[in-house]
Structure 1
Amino acid sequence: MALDIEKKKHTPEAPEEKSKGLNTFLWLLTVVIIAATALGNIYFEDQYSTPIRVVAVVVLLLIALGIAAMTNQGRKALGFFQDARTELRRIVWPSRPEATQTTFIVVGVTVFVSLILWGLDSIIVSIITFLTDWRF
């Protein structure tokens, strides 16, 4: 895995980063689209039915998400999610019997420890009650 990371750092195929001005413009455009979506949903509340407004909001938010994905930070986030998906595929998940057995062990240990703590609490309460009932 470390070798994969090193290879990625040294590959010349890395996508070129956008200029700071273009990146800022794309983020501003994203914010404007999200704000217009929110305000438009409120403004057109009486003119259009809820299903039409929901579709419009979803479409505009997807457009804003697409524009945000074109920024430098968006590309890095997409790369992170692709790497996370690859790692998730490598995980060896426990079988159903293993998961059930582990769950019963956790429940059993939890009950056992809670009984011990309850017993210790009862002993401490008894000692404190005994000591506070003394009259000097």
Structure 2
Amino acid sequence: MANPSVETVNTSSDKLMLVAGVLLVLAGFVGFFWLGGQEWYVRGAALVVGVIAGVVVGLLSTPGKGFIAFAKDSYKEVRKVVWPTRKEATQTTLVVFGFVFVMAVFLWVSDKSIEWVIFSAILGWK
């Protein structure tokens, strides 16, 4: 059974836009290092312009538009989350720490018991 929710880049224009976006980002990095003798703000501007242009071109493609829609839907879902109060978070944290402490003591007692059985009772080592 095929998974219909998987998206692929099918059109050549989408592939071309994604390749152009990657090339623009790479051009920004190349420009940053190629302009090594220039002032820092000139080099930074080349990098920022290349990265921003590449991201914009990538987001204008069909997969980019799908990513924007996904990001908007994710933001809407995060806004629906009911976050715990400070008191609830503190109580939950204390319960977790308590459980970890009890498990640590249990594992320590188990380890020492097994150690005593093997080394003292079976092997006779003191």
TM-score, normalised by the number of residues in structure 1: 0.77
Shift of 1:93: 0.7
Distance 1:46 1:84 in 2: 43
| Unaligned 5+ runs, structure 2 | 1-8
Establish whether residue 99 from structure 1 lines up as the match of residue 89 from structure 2: yes
Quick check: 1:21 aligned with 2:12?
yes
Q: CA offsets, 1:26-80, max 9 Å, x none?
A: 111111111111211111122232x442343223212211111111111111111
Contact residue 32 and residue 43 of structure 2 kept, 8 A: yes
Normalized against structure 2, the TM-score is what?
Answer: 0.82
Distance (whole Å) between structure 2 residues aligned to residue 19 and residue 116 of structure 1: 57
1:118 alignment partner in structure 2 = 108
Tell me the C-alpha RMSD between the 2 structures.
1.9
Secondary structure (helix, strand or coil) at the match of 1:63 reads helix
Distance 1:116 1:46 in 2: 64
- Supply the distance in 2 between the matched residues of 1:113 and 1:62 (Cα, whole angstroms): 51
Partner Cα distance (1:124, 1:76) in 2: 57
**Percent of pairs with identical residues:** 27
Distance 1:103 1:19, change over 3 A: closer
Equivalent pairs, count: 116
What is the aligned partner in structure 1 of residue 62 from structure 2? 72
The reply on whether 1:87 has 2:89 as its aligned counterpart is no
4+ residue stretches of structure 1 with deviation over 4 A?
none
